[in-house]
Amino acid sequence: MSENNDFFSRVYGVVKLIPAGRVTTYGAVAAAIGSPGAARMVGWAMNKAFSHTGYLPAHRVVNRNGMLTGKHAFPNANTMQELLESEGVRVKNDKVMDFQKVFWAPEVIDLSHHENS
């Protein structure tokens, strides 16, 4: 459980929930973990996530503009785009097309106790 208490672990937990063919934003993930202003931390966690064992769809996380700002962190500059297109997400000019349609909003983690859909 302590793992889930770590900021990074929370980010990973949310990112892992992103369904294929969908994308979300750093700010949305940050808000989901209770730190709406920590969007930068989310991206930073993604970079570090490459060291994280296990599959982490970091390519499904883009900035609020739908731009693939983190593509440079992948083995190849076009890896992120190819992964997205492979899942059905159209990308043009390092930017997600129909971003609003493929956008997936993560479930906000209630730090309280109960209250859940």
Partner DNA sequence: CGTCTGACGCACG
Partner DNA sequence: GCGTGCGCCAGAC
Assess contact for 84 and 91: CB atoms under 8 A. yes
What is the C-alpha separation between 53 and 114, in angstroms, rounded? 30
Q: How far is the CB of 38 from DNA (least distance, A)?
A: 4
59 binds DNA (CB under 7 A): yes
Assess contact for 16 and 24: CB atoms under 8 A. no
Q: How far is the CB of 33 from DNA (least distance, A)?
A: 10
Name the segment binding DNA (CB under 7 A); options: 59-67, 84-92, 93-101, 109-117: 59-67
26 binds DNA (CB under 7 A): yes
39 binds DNA (CB under 7 A): yes
What single-letter amino acid sits at 111? L
Q: How far is the CB of 23 from DNA (least distance, A)?
A: 10
Sort 26 into a burial class: Cβ within 10 Å, 0-12 / 13-18 / 19+.
buried
Which residue in 1, 5, 37, 112 binds DNA (CB under 7 A)?
A: 37
What are the phi and psi torsion angles at 25 (to 5°)? -115, 160
79 binds DNA (CB under 7 A): no
